[in-house]
Amino acid sequence: MPSYNITLNKDAPKEELEKAKKQVSDEGGKVTHEFKLINGFTAEFPADAVHTLSSNSHLTVEDDGEVKTQ
């Protein structure tokens, strides 16, 4: 399943993060990890599911992937 990192934008109300978690489950996804140092989480969605989190101006949504250094 595709994974996404969802983080709360600076100055956004903290309630928006809880709303986003509920939206994940409502759209067929699941929260797989919650961040401790920043306000955010990782969520997985079925490949055929459409999610609308990226349309929320309070959130940043990025594909989750491996990070490598050179």
Tens of pLDDT, residue by residue, the chain (70 residues): 889 999 999 999 999 999 999 999 999 999 999 999 999 999 998 877 768 888 899 999 999 988 788 7
Amino acid 47: pLDDT: 73
Residue 47: both structure tokens together: 């490949």
Distance CA(43)–CA(58), nearest Å, equals 17
Kindly report the CATH class assigned to 3-63. Answer: alpha beta
Amino acid 46: pLDDT: 82
Amino acid 69: pLDDT: 85
Closest CA to 24 of 38, 43, 4: 43
Amino acid 67: pLDDT: 76
Q: Long-range contacts of range 9-15, CB-CB < 8 Å, 24 or more positions apart?
A: 9/57, 9/58, 9/59, 9/60, 12/58, 12/59, 13/58, 14/39
